[in-house]
Amino acid sequence: MSNNFETKKRYGTCSKDCYGSCVFIGEWNDQAPEKKLLAAKPLKEHPFTNGFFCPKLNNREKLLYHPERIKTALIRSGSKGSNSFTSVSLEEALNLISTQLTTVKEKYKSSSIVVAYYTGNTGLISMYSPFRFFHKLGATITSEGTCNEAGCFALGRMFGNYSTTNPFQIANPNNRLIVVWGSNLADRNNHAHFLVKKAIKNGSKLIVVNPVRTKLAESADLFLQPYPGTDFL
């Protein structure tokens, strides 16, 4: 049975809180009032996506239109932990936020409002657009969240500065040694894990340093397993 509508194909990027920014090609039905995305397939030609998604983006079209997906703002109507919420309009939610911000500002001061943010998939609009409002408000803005800064500080103390690894350095054919320190790539960054496994096949040596015996440790030429709290030397 053939469809009576013409589908369109467009490229898209994963919007999850991840630096991977995986690329997919979506099949769309522009004539549908809803459920316009019919399928999302990982782009095989993309050098990082490599034709597969992590579980967060698998079945994207089903997650996007799932009947239990949250579609409205929710206000807690019971005690914390009771999982009791009331659905409200966006206008009601914004009015509540405005009232609470004004109350805190008048009772204490603007700097008592702390803004914690993160870069997510490094989208410039989603990352920087709130800053204008919070700067105008006079709030305290953290330096790229709280959990990320702890890791950056540790890297700076250990290596002199903080610098993330370019994943394409892993795939460099001249790469002869890879050190994976304190990272569980198989479960936390499966695309980088794929590149490491590919580099091993191309002759790279692998050293894994981790208190936990990860999946990647099984493929390591050298696995160092320090006791927790003793590897900062």
| % of the chain residues with pLDDT over 90 | 36
**Confidence category of residue 15, pLDDT binned at 50, 70, 90:** confident
Tell me how crowded residue 105 is: count the other CB atoms within 10 A of its CB: 16
**Confidence category of residue 199, pLDDT binned at 50, 70, 90:** very high
Judging by beta carbons within 10 Å of its beta carbon (0-12, 13-18, 19+), is residue 185 exposed, middle or buried?
buried
Judging by beta carbons within 10 Å of its beta carbon (0-12, 13-18, 19+), is residue 200 exposed, middle or buried?
middle
User: β-strand 114-115 against 140-141: which pairing, if any?
Assistant: parallel
- The structural domains of the chain, ordered by start, are 8-64 (2.20.25), 70-107 (no CATH), 111-160 (no CATH), 165-224 (3.40.228.10)
- Mean pLDDT, the chain, integer: 84
Return the sign of the alpha-carbon dihedral for residues 222, 225, 226, 232. positive
pLDDT tens for 91-102 read 999 999 999 999
| Residue 48 · residue 167 · CB < 8 Å | yes
| Residue 147 · residue 119 · CB < 8 Å | no
**Confidence category of residue 233, pLDDT binned at 50, 70, 90:** very low
| Alpha-helix runs per DSSP H in 72-143 | 90-107, 124-137
pLDDT of residue 3: 61
Which of 94-108, 118-132, 167-181, 193-207 is predicted with the least confidence, judged by mean pLDDT?
118-132
CA atoms within 13 A on the CB side of 135: 5
